[in-house]
A and B are shown apart, each in its own frame.
Chain A
Amino acid sequence: SQELEQSPQSLIVQEGKNLTINCTSSKTLYGLYWYKQKYGEGLIFLMMLQKGGEEKSHEKITAKLDEKKQQSSLHITASQPSHAGIYLCGAENAGNNRKLIWGLGTSLAVNP
C-alpha cells in the first residue's frame, strides 16, 4: 500500500529563516495536497499539485512536485510566528480517487 513519509518530524526555526519540509511517497503521486493544522484545530488547505515538475506559491509558501511525482517539498521563505503549526501532506490513493492517505505531519515552531 502507498505510504507517505514526511521529514523532518519537527522543526524549530528562528523568525526570518527559510525552511523546507519534504513529503516522499512509496508510489507515484496522482495528486498531492498540503494542509496546515494549528494545534487542536481543523486543517487549512494550502496547495494541490498534480503534474510532475509543478510548482505553486502562495504568499511566502512554495510547494513543488518532482518530475517523477514521488516527492513534494514545501518551502517557507522568511518564516514568521504565524507559520507555526503542523504541516500535513496528503495524497490521492491510486486505487480510489476519493480517499487521501496522509503523512504523519511536520510540527513547525518559529521563535520570534
Chain B
Amino acid sequence: GAVVSQHPSWVICKSGTSVKIECRSLDFQATTMFWYRQFPKQSLMLMATSNEGSKATYEQGVEKDKFLINHASLTLSTLTVTSAHPEDSSFYICSASKVVKETQYFGPGTRLLVL
C-alpha cells in the first residue's frame, strides 16, 4: 500500500506555456500532499504543502502565482507551472501522507524541460 503516482513523468514545453503535473495517491487518502523541487546533485527543496480543500502553504521564496497548487480531493493534487521559463526546468516530486505525523510517500517525479 501507499503508492503515489505522478503524471506526466517527462514533459518538454516551450517557454511561456503552462504545464500541469498531477500527483495521485492510488491506494490511500492523503490529507496532505507536498511538492518538492530537486536540482541535479542537490537535495529536495520543499515548495509547498497542500491540504485537501484548502489553500496551499508556500515556502519562502516560492512564487504562488507561478506555481499554482490545487488539492481538490483526498487523492489528487496538481501543480501548474504558469508561463514556464527555462529556469523552471527541474525535477518535481510530490509526496503524500495519510494523517498528521504519518510517513510521506513519494511519487516517481516529473522531469520538466522548458525550451
Q: Which residues of A contact B (CB under 8 A)?
A: 31, 33, 35, 40-45, 48, 88, 90, 92, 97-100, 102-105
Which listed residue (A41, A100, A105) contacts B104, Cβ 8 A?
A100
Q: How many residues of B contact A (CB 8 A)?
A: 24
Chain B's nearest CB lies how many Å from the CB of A103? 6
Q: List 16 A-B contacts (CB under 8 A).
A: A40-B91, A40-B109, A42-B93, A42-B107, A43-B93, A43-B95, A45-B103, A48-B103, A88-B44, A98-B32, A98-B100, A99-B46, A100-B104, A102-B43, A102-B44, A103-B43
CA distance A41 to B103 in the complex (A): 18
| Interface pair A31/B109, CB less than 8 Å apart | no
SS of A interface (majority):
strand
* A105 contacts across to B, CB distance below 8 A: 43
CA distance A31 to B102 in the complex (A): 10
Which listed residue (B42, B100, B106) contacts A45, Cβ 8 A?
B106
* B91 contacts across to A, CB distance below 8 A: 40
Q: Which residues of B contact A (CB under 8 A)?
A: 2, 4, 6, 32, 34, 42-44, 46, 49, 91, 93, 95, 97, 100-101, 103-109, 111
| Interface pair A43/B43, CB less than 8 Å apart | no
Which listed residue (A33, A40, A90) contacts B111, Cβ 8 A?
A40
Q: Which of A33, A45, A98 has the most chain B CB within a 10 Å cutoff?
A: A98
Q: A43-B44, A98-B100, A105-B43 provided; 12 other pairs, C-beta below 8 A?
A: A31-B101, A41-B108, A42-B4, A42-B93, A42-B107, A43-B106, A44-B106, A45-B2, A45-B104, A97-B101, A99-B46, A104-B42
